[in-house]
Amino acid sequence: MSRLSNIHVLVLAFAIAMSPSLCFPSTKGEVFPVFTKWHVYVVNGVGNQESLFVHCKSKDNDLGIQNLSPGTNTTWGFRTNFFHSTLFWCYLRKSSAQHAALKVFWQDIYLFEKCNWKNCIWIAKDDGIYIKDFANVRDEFSKKWEEGWIKTQDSYRSL
Ligand SMILES: *[C@@H]1O[C@H](CO)[C@@H](O)[C@H](O)[C@H]1NC(C)=O
């Protein structure tokens, strides 16, 4: 082995030893493995038979544009990455020209508990976006709609 690759191995071993991402204890005393499979759902729970425009992305993936009819949802699954940087965000727009941009997955124990360490369920309703809180068995208000239409790209800048 060259001197350089020895150093690489040492650095990697050190990173693994120091990484809190391998085991992440939840308040339930369980150990959270880093490669857990997560699912995010975006649900059209808006009244008035309105459709919901949804465009979700991560740094590496554009999940494309969807138009959800009332009561339907879109979902995707992924594994969290080693370096704790997995992040997804969505731009949502009601047909009545109100929109919101929000993060729908980030690596944080606050979110993990809401999602019951598995499913993050975001529900668009008439007054804003809610997240299903599994711990309290209710939908928790998260973000208000903003008035008017703006371009998807512009809305992401504020996140
Ligand atoms: C999403 O839609 C599927 C298919 O209609 C349904 O079975 C599932 O319960 C829905 N999930 C949520 C979280 O609304």
Count of residues for the chain? 159
- By most ligand atoms within 8 Å of CB, the mutation choice from 73, 122, 131, 133 for ligand 1 is 73
The three-point CA angle 126-128-134 to 5° equals 105
Residue 42 tokens read as 């975006």
Backbone phi, then psi, for 154, in 5-degree steps?
-65, -35
Give the structural domain span for 7. 3-157
Please compute the mean of the pLDDT values over residues 120-130 and round it to a whole number: 98
Output the pLDDT for position 89. 96
> How many angstroms does the Cα of residue 124 sit away from the middle of ligand 1?
14
27 pLDDT more than 50: no
How many distinct structural domains can be found in the chain? Answer: 1
CATH number of the domain where residue 135 is located: 2.60.40.10
* Ligand 1 atom closest to the CA of 132, numbered from 1: 13
For residues 156 and 55, what is the distance between their CA atoms, to the nearest angstrom? 11
What would the pLDDT profile of 107-121 be if each residue is shown by its tens digit?
888 999 999 999 999
